[in-house]
Amino acid sequence: MQNTLILNGYLPQNSINKIESFIGQHETLLQNLASRDLSHNSKKALFSDIAHFIVWYEARFKETFVVRFITNSALQAYRDDSEKAGLSPKTIIRRLSSLRELVKEAKELKLLDHEPFRKLKAPQVQPLAPKSLTESDCRKLLREIEIRNNLRDEAIVQLMLGAGLRASEVIALKREDIEITERKGFALIRSGKGNKTRSVPLNSTIRPLLLEYTKANPSEGALFVGQRGGLKIPVTLNKILDFYAKKAGIHCHPHALRHTFAYSYLKHNPSDIVGLAQILGHSNIQTTAIYTQNRLEDLQEKVEF
């Protein structure tokens, strides 16, 4: 299990060394968490949060941690110490959410028979919409890709920025998943979150770009390939995007492109949350509704009157 966590990039070696005892006692529990239908970054955050709690617990209570030691009093002490350490409410909430997932899995495996979160109150945070790229940042990013004339990278970025695809969905695309005619086009997403299949419309910027790319790269199989064949994990897209973002002098991650698409869609179709949910592959419309919230930069602009 240790090698699995390292090879998949969920935890660095130094973190694994600190929770080696827990890993040895709860291998099945961790394997179940690692096999969940989550993005690579979500799994990294999940395991990092769990490791942080274990290290904190053993330092605080001077005993080796096992999962049944997760109690309401321990969680309250963890929350209080996190607040005293100056962690943001958002970070505390995320870490507690990760521990909820650990508890949920432990209860399914009958490693826990109590509910440690029953009386716990998490910090309250004013909800804000996810961050996205400004029009200026988008222009700078696309310019850097165009300058280098890399059709593959431009197509990858446009599928996230102009169609709202997740990084994992872009990587999973095959040649036969793309259907383009003169006036319309679709991408068939077979491995979306929750293993749902959906068709995503492609706009007039993406269609000719994909046609040009596939014509220049006619091989079968994975749509996007590297030197060793099809791109395998979302980390690859992180590296590709990070390269161009640094050249453009901006900060950007793959999911920010998806967020940018969502805001742009609602800007041009302000009442069509249902349509956006269909494109993004959201089962719950409340998940999509977060894009109707103000971003922090929106509020900043509004107070400058």
The residues annotated with a catalytic role in the active site are: 166, 193, 255, 258, 282, 291
Is the separation of the CB atoms in 161 and 260 below 8 Å?
yes
Residue 12 region by backbone torsions, left for phi larger than 0, else alpha for psi between -120 and 50, else beta: beta
E runs forming strands in the chain: 178-180, 185-189, 198-201, 225-226, 229-230
Q: Which two tokens stand for residue 168?
A: 């994992």
Distance from the first to the final alpha carbon of the chain: 56
For the purposes of burial, counting CB atoms within 10 Å of the CB of 152, is it exposed (0-12), middle (13-18) or buried (19 or more)? middle
How far CA 294 is from CA of 12, 16, 209, 290, 291, in Å, comes to 36, 39, 33, 9, 8
How far CA 222 is from CA of 85, 149, 210, 230, 238, in Å, comes to 47, 21, 13, 5, 18
How far CA 301 is from CA of 65, 192, 207, 292, 304, in Å, comes to 48, 35, 35, 16, 5
Is the separation of the CB atoms in 128 and 90 below 8 Å?
no
Whole-number Å distance between alpha carbons of 198 and 37: 17
Q: Which element (helix H / strand E) includes 14? A: helix 13-18
Say which DSSP state 230 is in: E
Closest CA relative to residue 141, chosen from 164, 163, 157: 157
Is the separation of the CB atoms in 202 and 180 below 8 Å?
yes
